[in-house]
Structure 1
Amino acid sequence: MSRELLILRHAKSDWGTGAASDFARPLSERGRKDAPRLGKWMRKHHLKPEHVVSSPAVRATETATAVSRALEFRVKDITFDERIYLAGLTTLLEVIASCPTEASRVMLVGHNPGLDELVEYLVQGELPLSDAGKLMTTCALARIELSDNWATLPRGSGKLLSLTRPRELP
């Protein structure tokens, strides 16, 4: 069975809120606009996931919630996994391995640098960078096709279908 992994970096966060910690940092005004815009674009392109797993950090939670609402994915069905916050490649692969086997499309909402590492691991070859030379900019969505099950994702096992950034949306 072909599978699709949607890797979503949280939307732009607000560094000037005086949040008590990095974990508590919320979305900025731009982030609060970009997340639902991306979700509407995903709905238009029939990219609704069957399973959503997100970091519980405030900015990731707000992103996952806004995108899910726009996709008409039930917010109460989002799985919040503490392992995603500050996760590296190995931990992110473990999170993906724990996704339901029956789900053919999963969306993972998290943070850099872990998401950059994950995309670079799964997809061989040159990847499309932003004008600023970045891969997973805030609120970027990488669509990766996988043939393996969630538990076995060897290096280079994915095919990048698209990488969408908010600035590229109509």
Structure 2
Amino acid sequence: MKNILLIRHAKSDWNNENLTDFERPLNARGFRDAEFMSSRLANKGLHIDCIISSSAVRALTTAQFFAQALSMDKNSLIQHRFLYGASESQYVEIIQEFDDSLHDIILIAHNPSISNVAHILCSQLELESMPTCCMIHIHFPLAKSWKDIQQHTGQLVSIEYPKLYTHNI
């Protein structure tokens, strides 16, 4: 069995024209949401083997919140430069290349690709586009290897995003 949590990076800052898209940091809401959602995930007690994140600043910062909340060591956070700007088929290829000794993985990246990948992996998904800092947990009960991950082989476990809990933030 394999599990993947697809997470869209938290809300980013668009105010600095001198930064490239890749360099954009989180804004105040992004920091708040990343802290809140990572804490929610940590409270579920799920075991996560590693976090694979786009190396873009906003995704990596989001990933660092999750790694800290889950008490993961720094070697468990892997930057994957190809997740920035990758197509949906490239995302699926990246997932299929995960080490099979890993069973529960977080993948943190960007819209629209990450939302589209969620739809490719799980036919039960009704959310059209992932809001910022959205977590979609997909379970693959028949997958012994990440190579077994194919279109619509995943089962939706949960969808959470900050605006569901706005009154708590």
TM-score (norm 1): 0.91
Name whichever structure is richer in helix by fraction.
2
Post-superposition offset of 1:135: 2.6
Structure 1 ranges of 4+ moved more than 4 A: none
Distance 1:48 1:88 in 2: 28
For 2:164, which of 122, 147, 168 is the aligned residue? 168
Post-superposition offset of 1:88: 1.3
Distance 2:134 2:162 in 1: 7
Secondary structure of 2:59's aligned partner: helix
Post-superposition offset of 1:85: 0.3
Aligned to 1:16: 15
- The share of aligned pairs that are identical, in percent, is 29
Aligned to 1:123: 122
Aligned to 2:42: 43
* 1:139 corresponds to 2:138: no
* Shift in CA distance, 108/102, structure 1 to aligned 2, threshold 3 Å: same
Matched letter for residue 157 of structure 2:
L
TM-score (norm 2): 0.91
Contact 1:43 1:71 in 2 (8 A): yes
Contact 1:48 1:73 in 2 (8 A): no
- The alignment's C-alpha RMSD in Å is 1.4
Matched letter for residue 150 of structure 2:
P
Aligned to 1:74: 73
* 1:159 corresponds to 2:158: no
Contact 1:145 1:159 in 2 (8 A): yes
For 1:150, which of 146, 157, 161 is the aligned residue? 146
Secondary structure of 2:22's aligned partner: coil
5+ long unaligned stretches in structure 1:
none
Distance 1:85 1:27 in 2: 16
Contact 1:49 1:105 in 2 (8 A): yes
**For residues 27-106 of structure 1, what are the structure 2 equivalents within 5 Å?**
27-106=26-105
Distance 1:47 1:88 in 2: 29
Q: How many residues align?
A: 164
Matched letter for residue 20 of structure 1:
L
Post-superposition offset of 1:77: 2.5
